[in-house]
Structure 1
């Protein structure tokens, strides 16, 4: 499970991504499933090109969007955990 101290990195080996405007379409090369990411999710996907703490993801989003820290943490952790469940990201140890 992802928490604010988790160091995360996206799993580029199993996914192909293509940006369409402010959104991104990602294909899981193992299943052929497609996922659509909105603008905020796309920002998170881009941030995770390199290992980054979940708390730093939140800080970066707070600099980009007008949202409270509590709401940003809640929504970001929920999305990061979904990404982890779909093997889109991994937690560095």
Structure 2
């Protein structure tokens, strides 16, 4: 069981459900959580990554792109991040 807190894009409900069962505290990814402060990771769908070719956001938390990953894959990545 973990007490880790992750922000997840709203459209990733399957990932949210799985990580909640794994003991993660899951919050919605919104403007307040995008800086990553107090978060162990941010999980995004990857659907709208850098469409305009401009990157102007910064975050203090690692970002995991969920595109093409299963909830189990994301859980493994979170555990790898925790070990670093």
Q: Please give the TM-score of this superposition, normalised by the length of structure 1.
A: 0.29
Point out the structure with the larger helix share: 1
Instruction: Select the structure that is richer in strand.
Output: 1
Instruction: Give the structure-2-normalised TM-score.
Output: 0.31
**More relative contact order in 1 or in 2 (CA 8 Å, sep 6+)?**
1
